[in-house]
Amino acid sequence: MQKTVVVLSGGMDSATLLYHLADAGHEVKTISVNYGQRHVRELDSAARLSEALDVENVVADLRAINPLLGSSNSLSSTSIDIPEGHYEEESMKLTVVPNRNMIILSVAVGWALSLKYDAVAYGAHSGDHAIYPDCRPEFAEALDRAVQLCDWHSMKLLRPFVGMDKGDIAKRGHELGVPFHLTWTCYKGLERHCGKCGACQERIEAFHKFDLADPVEYEASVIAAKGPIS
């Protein structure tokens, strides 16, 4: 049985990853990271998703590094508005937290090594490649090599969704019975999903790709514009 630490943000991709690996027989623990993100409520979703599978979830508190990362992006700086609409080059850059995946994965790898686990897994997918440099296959391959060299204990980095898009992940999650109502996607982190930020737009389109019901609540104006989505 492979033992794997899953990086669990609380969103639909990492939630599906957790259920996918559990279904494949992995023994899993989950790690989430508080880096001072505006949508910190995603950590509550991560805890509830872990509880639903009765697996351990830990939160790494990295809020102290927020001042080092937050001045250039809208996710960790409240002085920059969350861009709305589909991602384009300039609006996308406003959601890039510098080196976020390497920081988060480094912490996850450290914990996995201390546990003598076999792997760390994260939910990068093909739709991320053009948006975030640290979700590209080249980055993951280089980091996988580093993971295998950083300690005497042999480990690897898993990214099973790297060839799938977000719609494919929604379909896989539906097949696995992922409780998508527990997940959180919206970058604004309000009471309900705004439906307007790039993350919400991608989620809505992912569920529509295979005519799947999305059980989370969106702002009424979005539901009126897009049609029923739950």
Please report the pLDDT score of residue 229 as a whole number: 40
Please report the pLDDT score of residue 83 as a whole number: 56
User: What residue segments make up the domains of the chain, in order of their start?
Assistant: 3-190
Q: What tens-digit pLDDT sequence spans the chain (230 residues)?
A: 899 999 999 999 999 999 999 999 999 999 999 987 877 899 999 999 999 999 999 999 998 887 877 655 444 546 555 556 665 545 565 556 667 888 999 999 999 999 999 999 999 887 655 567 777 788 889 999 999 999 999 999 999 998 899 999 999 999 999 999 999 999 887 889 999 888 898 899 999 999 999 999 998 555 544 443 43
Taking the C-alpha atoms of residue 29 and residue 55, their distance in angstroms, rounded to an integer, is 6
Termini Cα distance of the chain = 37
Report the 3 state secondary structure along the chain: CCEEEEECCCCHHHHHHHHHHHHCCCEEEEEEEECCCCCCCHHHHHHHHHHHCCCCEEEEECHHHHHHHHHHCCCCCCCCCCCECCCCHHHHHCCCCCCHHHHHHHHHHHHHHHHCCCEEECCCCHHHCCCCHHHCHHHHHHHHHHHHHCCCCCCEEECCCCCCCHHHHHHHHHHHCCCHHHCCCCCCCCCCECCCEHHHHHHHHHHHHCCCCCCCCECHHHHHHHCCCC
Please report the pLDDT score of residue 224 as a whole number: 40
Please report the pLDDT score of residue 225 as a whole number: 45
Strand order in the sheet with 3-7: 57-61, 27-34, 3-7, 119-121, 156-158
Q: At the top level of CATH, which class does the domain 3-190 belong to?
A: alpha beta
C-alpha 171: how far from chain center: 16
